[in-house]
Amino acid sequence: MTDFIKKNIFLIILFIITLSIGFLTFLTFIDKGFIKLTDTNLQYLLIVNILLLTSLFVFIFFEIRRAIKTDIDKDGLKSNKKYITVFALFTLIPSVLISIFSLFLFSFALEKYFDKKVTTVVNNSYELAKNYVDEIRNKIQSDIVLIAFDINKSKKFLNDNINEYRRFLNTQKLIRDVDEVHVIDINKKLLFTTLKDNQPYLPPLDGALSLVIDDDRPLKILNAPENISAAIMRLQNFDNRFLYVVKFLDKNISKYLTESEEAINFYYTVEEKSTGIKISFAIIYIIVVSVLLFVSISIAIRFSSRFFRSINNLIYASVSIGEGKFDTKVPEVKTDKDLEILNKNFNLMIDRLRNQQEKLIINERHEAWSNLARKLAHEIKNPLTPIQLTIDRMKSKYSNQVNENERKNFDENLKIINNQIKQIGNLVNEFSDFARMPKPILKENNLIQIINENVKLLKELDKTIDINFNKNKEEIFLNSDREQMARVFFNLIKNSIESIQQRAENDSNIEKKITIEVNEENNHIIINIFDSGIGFGIFAANIKDILNPYFTTKKNGTGLGLSIVSKIINDHNGKIEFIPLDEGAKIKIDFIK
């Protein structure tokens, strides 16, 4: 998820900006945004919306095309593209249908919002509240006229007596059903009142007195925030005295009146801009649906590519294996757990096939060379005995007849012939050994003990060579033929000793060292032999040729030793590798238990 956000950060920013502008346009249409509702502002907002929406579509198009090119086209399977197309269509079609249905539903709801009955209710609710307030104001106006008339008529009776005024005003308050009755001067100072001593006095609004100083008509006052309906009137029979009457409205009526007025204004604003609201809603919906489609298609591409890339790799690998290329490997890619297991098992199968092929090739090669060695041994051995007998006869018959000057040459020539016959005999014996390699008799043998015995024996060949033996266990058992295993380690260690000796002939300062490592882990026995000898030299490029019979890097070698070693290891379900080093060589043997 984090990677997806990082890769599409620009798209996310563009989406947020486009969506924000869409909502701002919607709020402006209903006159609830911070931008003033004017035709010019709406025109600019719609242009910005169209530009951003176009940019969003273009960006999504290129991103999807890039994702398809990167994750699908390079895999090359038609089924991959087909599944992506089907997935995209199954996402697109419901989204389009839902979009059309939602827009239709919104349009229908908006039309119902402006239904005649709803309009009537909205208007009537406002008129009802307004009429109530007007009624209160008109009543307070008539009441103040009557109270003023009574006060003017009772001027002599009242005679500025506070108690008489209080009684008189309280009587008027009850009769006229008002909340407060005050007599004030031109400075709004309270002269007489119905208020008790602990009740606060709210003077009339500024400027109200100036309007009635020269006018005998009452002035209606509405203080909506304080829920007060009041009236003020000049008392004609008194100098600079005014009657101020207050009637408190229902505490919620003023708020309701204000809210009703705002609601009506909003209602008619929405009605007037209904087309623009539909457009802005459609823009917002298209933006959201577009991004959701992009996300769904991107996820489809990602998961499809993860799945089909593994399938493609398996197909390509199987084709290569069918062509006999057993070095093929299925690339390890991050995908579903089951497909990762499938890839891993497929690679293990390839390894087993390659190992079986190598074993089969080695067995066939050894079988062919065994047949050849058997025939060669037979053909060479037959004439060796007559040749040896003839040489013996020649020596006994002609040695006394050769004069003293030629006797020495005669004996040396016979000796050379005998040496060559012995060398041919040794070669024939090796041919015979190679041809008669017996099948292994398998038993549980301790390889550590077998190697130790050979190391002790071979140390006597050259005590100047340091042989180190390291192992991770004191006993490591392998179901094997003891004699054949001993022959393997004897030949390999002996070859390393001879390689070091051969190098020492040209460089006396070399470090004469052989290191043997044996480790058992995960049903594998890994044996590494390092030496500081001549290495593989010019044969390093074709290292596998070393295992061919009669191929040797030694001066007097027959080339059969490593072939025998290879066959023994192969018969014991193992594998041998020859690895060139900068200073020497490494031999690695891997036995599977």
Residue 145 has pLDDT above 60, yes or no: yes
> Both 60 and 171 in a single domain?
no
Residue 248 belongs to some domain of the structure: yes
**Are residues 483 and 581 both part of a single domain?**
yes
pLDDT in tens, 224-276: 556 778 888 888 888 888 888 888 876 666 666 666 666 666 666 666 666 66
* Type of residue found at 489: F
CATH of the domain at 184: 3.30.450.20
Q: Are 543 and 580 in contact (CB under 8 A)?
A: yes
Give the count of domains, the chain. 4
Would 216 be classed as within a structural domain?
yes
Which one of 405, 435, 465 terminates a domain? Answer: 435
Query: Is the same domain home to 159 and 234?
Result: yes
Domain for residue 134, yes or no?
Answer: no
Digit-coded pLDDT (tens) for 296-342: 666 666 666 666 667 777 776 777 777 777 677 766 666 667 767 77
The string of DSSP codes covering 52-115 is HHHHHHHHHHHHHHHHHIIIIITT--HHHHHHHHHHHHHHHHHHHHHHHHHHHHHHHHHHHHT-
Share of the chain above pLDDT 90, in %: 9
Range of the structural domain that residue 194 is part of? 141-263
Residues 487 and 586 in one domain: yes
Q: How far apart are CA 580 and CA 88, in angstroms?
A: 55
| Residues 6 and 102 grouped into a single domain | yes
Three-state secondary structure call for residue 325: coil
pTM: 0.44
Domain end call among 435, 451, 482: 435
129 domain residue, yes or no: no
Q: Which two tokens stand for residue 182?
A: 């005050």
> Quick one: 422 and 371 in the same domain?
yes
3-state SS class at 233: strand
Q: With respect to residue 127, please indicate whether it lies within any of the assigned structural domains.
A: no
Within this chain, do residues 468 and 410 fall inside the same structural domain, yes or no? no
Q: How far apart are CA 30 and CA 37, in angstroms?
A: 8
Within 10 Å of residue 431's Cβ, how many Cβ atoms? 25
Is 447 a domain residue? yes
473 and 587 share a domain?
A: yes
Q: Is 234 helix (H, G, I), strand (E, B) or coil?
A: strand
CATH number assigned to the domain comprising residue 526: 3.30.565.10
pLDDT-derived band at 360 (thresholds 50, 70, 90) equals: confident
Say how many CA atoms lie within 13 Å of 268 toward its Cβ. 8
Residue 343 · residue 310 · CB < 8 Å: yes
pLDDT digits (tens, 9 = 90+) for 161-173: 888 888 888 888 8
Rounded to the nearest integer, the mean pLDDT of the chain is 75
Among 435, 457, 482, which residue terminates a domain? 435
Pair (161, 216) in one structural domain: yes
| Same domain for 565 and 509 | yes
Same domain, 571 and 537: yes
- The DSSP letter of residue 328 is -
Residue 332 covered by a domain:
no
Angle at alpha carbon of residue 591, lines to 332 and 430, rounded to 5°: 130
In this structure, the answer to whether residues 237 and 298 fall within a common structural domain is no
Pairing of β 466-471 and β 513-521: parallel
pLDDT (0 to 100) of residue 528: 94
H, E, C per residue of 187-225: CCCEEEECCCCCCCCCCCCCCHHHHHCCCCCCEEEEEHH
Q: Considering the domain boundaries, does residue 122 fall inside one?
A: no
Instruction: Phi first, then psi: give them for residue 114, nearest 5 degrees.
Output: -100, 25
Higher pLDDT, 260 or 439: 439
pLDDT number for residue 42 = 64
